[in-house]
Structure 1
Amino acid sequence: MIYLHFIVNPISGKGKHTITKEYLDTYFLEGQYKIRVDYSEYKKHAVLLTQNAIAENPDVIIACGGDGTINEVASCLVNTSIRLGIIPVGSGNGLASNLNIPRNIEQALAIIRKQNEQAIDVGKINDRYFFSNMGLGIDALIIRKYECFEKRTLSAYVKASLRASAEFKPPKMIVKWAGQEKKVVPFLFFVSNSNEMGYNMSLTPKASLSDGWLDLLIVSKLNIAQKMMFGTLVLLNKTDKFKKAERFLVKELEIVLPEATTVDLQADGEYYHLDNSTISVAVLEKALTVLVDSKL
């Protein structure tokens, strides 16, 4: 019997999905599957629910939500034998899109039934994980403002981006990797494990979840006209045309903010404030097993 444990964020996306045990029982026959369902009630609650689920030794833990919920669940499964399933009912759904997991709930459940699995890389920032991307530049401020909107929609994201662009002051950074050292004052400092960041937008279209590398994108301080041009290229998924964008493949990074004592960052679309100014970033190769329709 296959034990499937679902962690559901009931307010993900527009909060209109109805993923209940009764609903799931119509897809997973009794006698072949054991089904448990828990519902998260507040930020980080999915972490506690996942930890409790792990103690029951399920075969798969399925995150039903957006990138934030997926991050909370997946972070508990890194370097374990328990596989991650995803039902993307959030707003951006960047990781699910990269994994070709459809937003249609029935189609996503069909992938859970198939039990096809793939090991993917994981990003690590100090003591926390990311699976899609992280950033220390304007994107951190965008997410901070985005979280203030009652509804997480693409229009809300665009509004947050415009407000952040008007306020953002690039910090000074010293970045070290593979024997190199670079001093930057970046408008955007973006590290990606996946080729999509949500809403079908991408800053790193060539990134791969299973190549053992992280894609680093640095965009230096911009004037108003350059900000408008870059924003347009982001919406068009053509940031590779932007001449001030520098791209690197990295396995480890050390980032120091010499004039700061704290740092704001975003990881998988969630805002964090860290009480230090030195950040270590690394890739953990093939550290998470995910259920997928077919291998990437």
Structure 2
Amino acid sequence: MVMNTGSGHHAYGHEQLARQLTDYFSEQGFEVDLYLLTEANQLSEVVRQARAKHEREGGVIVAAGGDGTLNTVAQELKHSHIRMGIIPLGTFNYVARALGIPLEPFAAAEVIVKGTAQPVHLGTVNDYIYLNNASIGLYPKIIEQRELYNARFGRFRVVAMVSGFVVLMREQQKLKLKMTIDGEQTPIETPLVFFGNNQLQLQDLKLKLAQCVEQGKLAAVAITALSRWQMIKLIHRLQVGLFEQAPEVTSFCAEQIKIESRVKHMKVAIDGEIVRIPTPLIFKVAHNALQVMVPHASTSV
């Protein structure tokens, strides 16, 4: 089991929880290796080591943390037979919620012990995967602002919402891009392109594109440059379920989308973390690429 002790707003209690979960899994007959990590950059190497062991011996690699932690573990386990267990400890926990995994840690642990393995789709952009979403433009700036606010006020939903609103109210730079959607090329100027891979998150945002994800396709939206007043109206449309009908919004449902830019690298927000990726950006869906322990009769991401 790998645990990010910095995840969520109850991070101070994670080490004690880790010991209790280890005791629970041991009581259920599992041999448990526990890795407590404070730095995200440690996680990939630890998971690679765990994967090498599990490829020889079998078992489940349990990721205990927020959706960013789950992404890092899934990145290392994709296209393998190794099962992934989830203990949700983040702020939003969209992956667990979409799969019907309980948010209470010991109930989630019981799913790992008694549940079933389910293949799930992964969104991909170049060599990276995303479980919930990936985006360029405004959203990476929102993430950067959120981390500044988190450092001052803690990891709470209201902090995330306020920091996002602050960014949205600023004047935004347009990205001049060339998008190729299933082979059809179109130029676009936009401050934001957003790709979603989590049905529940898209439903929470009242986006009909959730149906696109259900079909195993890429779901994306782009917006035109907006004034502050237009942005406020667009936020209202999002709240009442009319976002996709706004004239400033273009929706895409596709098998593959390529984004080209004059810059050599672009900041991409992936499941709440920011990475710099060489252009062009190629977005696809990797079908049934990850085996996740879920309750019986769960839905798919």
TM value normalised by structure 2: 0.87
The alpha-carbon distance between structure 1 residues 31 and 282, as it changes in their structure 2 partners (threshold 3 A), is: closer
Q: Match of 2:102? A: 102
Q: State the alpha-carbon separation in 2 of the partners of residues 161 and 21 from structure 1.
A: 32
Residue pair 1:210, 1:286 contacting (<8 A) in 2 also: no
Q: Match of 2:275? A: 272
Describe how 1:40-189 pairs up with structure 2 within 5 A: 40-57=37-54, 58-149=58-149, 150=151, 151-165=154-168, 166-189=170-193
The alpha-carbon distance between structure 1 residues 111 and 238, as it changes in their structure 2 partners (threshold 3 A), is: farther
* Helix, strand or coil at the partner of 2:264: coil
1:35 aligns with 2:38: no
More displaced stretch, 283-292 vs 39-48? 39-48
User: Over residues 149-186 of structure 1, what are the superposed CA-to-partner deviations in whole Å (9 max), with x where a residue is unaligned?
Assistant: 21222222223223322042121111002121121112
More displaced stretch, 286-295 vs 146-155? 146-155
Residue pair 1:17, 1:89 contacting (<8 A) in 2 also: no
More displaced stretch, 262-271 vs 217-226? 217-226
Q: Match of 1:3? A: none
Residue pair 1:120, 1:210 contacting (<8 A) in 2 also: no
User: Over residues 204-235 of structure 1, what are the superposed CA-to-partner deviations in whole Å (9 max), with x where a residue is unaligned?
Assistant: 66156663212111222222222012223445
The alpha-carbon distance between structure 1 residues 160 and 204, as it changes in their structure 2 partners (threshold 3 A), is: farther
* Helix, strand or coil at the partner of 1:33: coil
Q: State the alpha-carbon separation in 1 of the partners of residues 214 and 82 from structure 2.
A: 18
Q: State the alpha-carbon separation in 1 of the partners of residues 141 and 89 from structure 2.
A: 24
The total of aligned residue pairs comes to: 289
User: Over residues 30-86 of structure 1, what are the superposed CA-to-partner deviations in whole Å (9 max), with x where a residue is unaligned?
Assistant: 472212211112122111111111121141111111111001111000000101111
Q: State the alpha-carbon separation in 1 of the partners of residues 96 and 238 from structure 2.
A: 20
* Helix, strand or coil at the partner of 1:91: coil
Q: Match of 1:218? A: 222
User: Over residues 117-139 of structure 1, what are the superposed CA-to-partner deviations in whole Å (9 max), with x where a residue is unaligned?
Assistant: 21111111111111111001311
Given residue 8 of structure 2, which amino acid in structure 1 is its aligned partner? G
Q: State the alpha-carbon separation in 2 of the partners of residues 38 and 237 from structure 1.
A: 42
* Helix, strand or coil at the partner of 1:76: helix
Residue pair 2:209, 2:219 contacting (<8 A) in 1 also: no
Q: State the alpha-carbon separation in 1 of the partners of residues 12 and 207 from structure 2.
A: 30
Q: State the alpha-carbon separation in 1 of the partners of residues 68 and 211 from structure 2.
A: 20
Q: State the alpha-carbon separation in 2 of the partners of residues 113 and 209 from structure 1.
A: 28
The alpha-carbon distance between structure 1 residues 118 and 163, as it changes in their structure 2 partners (threshold 3 A), is: same
Deviation at 1:256, TM superposition (A): 0.6
Q: State the alpha-carbon separation in 2 of the partners of residues 38 and 107 from structure 1.
A: 21
Deviation at 1:26, TM superposition (A): 4.4
Q: Match of 2:259? A: 255
Q: Match of 1:194? A: 198
Q: State the alpha-carbon separation in 1 of the partners of residues 66 and 137 from structure 2.
A: 22
The alpha-carbon distance between structure 1 residues 50 and 79, as it changes in their structure 2 partners (threshold 3 A), is: same
Q: State the alpha-carbon separation in 1 of the partners of residues 117 and 214 from structure 2.
A: 13
The alpha-carbon distance between structure 1 residues 203 and 87, as it changes in their structure 2 partners (threshold 3 A), is: farther
Q: State the alpha-carbon separation in 1 of the partners of residues 42 and 208 from structure 2.
A: 31
The alpha-carbon distance between structure 1 residues 204 and 142, as it changes in their structure 2 partners (threshold 3 A), is: farther
Q: State the alpha-carbon separation in 2 of the partners of residues 116 and 98 from structure 1.
A: 15
1:7 aligns with 2:12: no
TM value normalised by structure 1: 0.88
| RMSD of aligned residue pairs (Cα, Å) | 2.4
